[in-house]
Amino acid sequence: MKYSLIFPGQGSQSLGMLSELAEHFPIVKETFSEASDVLGFDLWQLTQEDQDGLNQTQNTQPAMLAAGYATYQVLNGEMDLSPVCMAGHSLGEYTALVAAGALRFSDGVELVRQRAELMQSAVPAGVGAMAAILGLDDETVVKVCADYSGEGVVEAVNFNSLGQVVIAGNKEAVNSTCEAMKVAGAKRAVTLPVSVPSHCSLMNDAATVFANTVENVVFKTTEIDVLYNVDAAKASNVGELRAKLVAQLHKPVLWTGTVQAMADRGVEKLIESGPGKILTGLTRRIDKSLSANAVLDSVSVAATLKEIK
């Protein structure tokens, strides 16, 4: 069976995540311990005991990287994995790079922490917002955003599946556009509980600074292709890899296109490595010919390995 590994991003975190998996596989806590050494605090304890701390962007991003990579290591420790390719949603792209061998885990932890701090400082708390628009096609969501005539920025930023697009920008602009989306026929317009308006032009300044950060990180080319959010395609060299990571900060996430690109490569199953089932659910809405497994505990590990062996 041809399969790909996919890694979730911010929003899939939950208090106590991977606790059951850690009871069966020591590599989980070992991975978090390595991340803790980089960060200077106990990341595992935070994910298990501190909900508010976990939901702070500068903690969420390294926590999700560690969780996704720990889950991947569990799978790879049980079976020599040979995916067709890898990808991650937003932050999950960094987990894919670590799993593919393009980025050292410790470097990845430091990089995503810096990324999170830049994103948080780019827009003051309470100024930005994101909202999920359900039940409208991509073109209509883009047009309604373009038609907004008030003050501030509002843009379509996450093309997650057919009929599910996330918009982001200034809070008042997003709220006004949500009402316009309903008038245009949206089934729902749901404000998301986030403090940072990711992947929109409000992140332009952060992306400029981040470009310098990325230049100082060592990346390698790998045998396993990673498909990137900004264009649903692989990078041909390290320079292009860096450029795509920087662009991802202020450009839309083309997740629908990424999943379709995997299907075009002959992939039959997507394996979501890390806490939550968000990407597994999106997969079924994007392409019903694809199956998907969410791997987040010992039972799902065993079931997934049985299917792909």
Q: Is 86 exposed, middle or buried (0-12, 13-18, 19+ CB in 10 A)?
A: buried
Q: What is residue 3's three-state secondary structure?
A: strand
Between CA 110 and CA 90 the distance in angstroms is 16
The verdict on whether 90 is a catalytic residue reads yes
Q: Hey, what are 13's tokens?
A: 């975190």
Nearest to 122 by CA among 78, 169, 172, 163: 169
* Residue of 90, 161, 198, 273 marked active site: 90
**Cβ proximity of 24 and 58 under 8 Å:** no
Q: State the amino acid at position 305 in one-letter form.
A: L
Q: What is residue 40's three-state secondary structure?
A: coil
Radius of gyration of the chain (CA): 18
What ranges make up the beta strands (E) of 62-207? 85-88, 128-134, 154-161, 164-170, 188-191
Edge-to-edge order in the sheet of strand 154-161 = 154-161, 164-170, 128-134, 188-191
Residue 277: C-alpha distances to residues 12, 73, 188, 297 (Å): 8, 18, 21, 12
At how many degrees (to 10) do helices 204-215 and 105-122 cross? 160
Residue 172: C-alpha distances to residues 57, 88, 144, 197, 297 (Å): 22, 30, 15, 12, 40
Give residues with Cβ within 8 angstroms of 55, minimum separation 6. 13, 193
Q: Is 229 exposed, middle or buried (0-12, 13-18, 19+ CB in 10 A)?
A: buried
By annotation, the residues acting in catalysis are 90, 199
